[in-house]
Amino acid sequence: MTDISDLGLVSDLWEYWGFSPWNSDGMKGVCRRVTFVKSALIGEVCRYYADDYIIWSHHGKADRQRILKSCRPQPDLMTQRYLFVEGAESAEKCSIRSFLFGFRGYAEVHTFTPGGRFEKRVKDLAPLVDKALELLRSRKSESGGGVLEK
């Protein structure tokens, strides 16, 4: 059986999708910044960013609440999404915090159990977790169930 804490071992998958290793206050995972550009006939009209975090090593509800409380608006950053990977189904699926009624951005904290259902807001992140676990399982079976190589 593949453990959720092994998700960091598929760094090639995370790098392919633009993620880098991330850790903070005992939590571990990956993060990326996505750039959105709005264009018109006159050229670029605006540019803004979204930060995505996939966190697989954490202390559950306490870390989710701490992240939501500690998030602050940043210039040109519209969304800060945190996907907490849970070993068991969590009753709490999503919490959203807006900054100045959304004009200064949003912070979203989501939970996801691998192989389970996910919300539309994380339809790009949750399948990556499932894919990472699938890749881990295939690598373990290829190596005869031994230690994975980095």
- The token duo for 3 is 């453990």
Q: Report CA-CA distances (Å) from 71 to 58, 77, 92, 121, 148.
A: 17, 11, 19, 18, 35
- pLDDT tens profile 73-97: 999 999 999 999 998 776 677 899 9
- pLDDT tens profile 109-146: 999 999 888 889 999 999 999 999 999 888 888 776 55
User: What distance in Å separates the CA atoms of residue 103 and residue 101, rounded to the nearest whole number?
Assistant: 6
User: What distance in Å separates the CA atoms of residue 116 and residue 104, rounded to the nearest whole number?
Assistant: 32
pLDDT band at 103 (very low <50, low <70, confident <90, very high): confident
- Residue 36 region by backbone torsions, left for phi larger than 0, else alpha for psi between -120 and 50, else beta: beta
pLDDT surpasses 60 at 26: yes
pTM: 0.86
Distance in Å from the first CA to the final CA of the chain: 19
Q: How far is CA 30 from the centre of its chain?
A: 7
Domain ranges of the chain: 4-139
| Beta bridge partner(s), residue 59 | none
CA angle (39, 41, 47) in 5-degree steps: 20
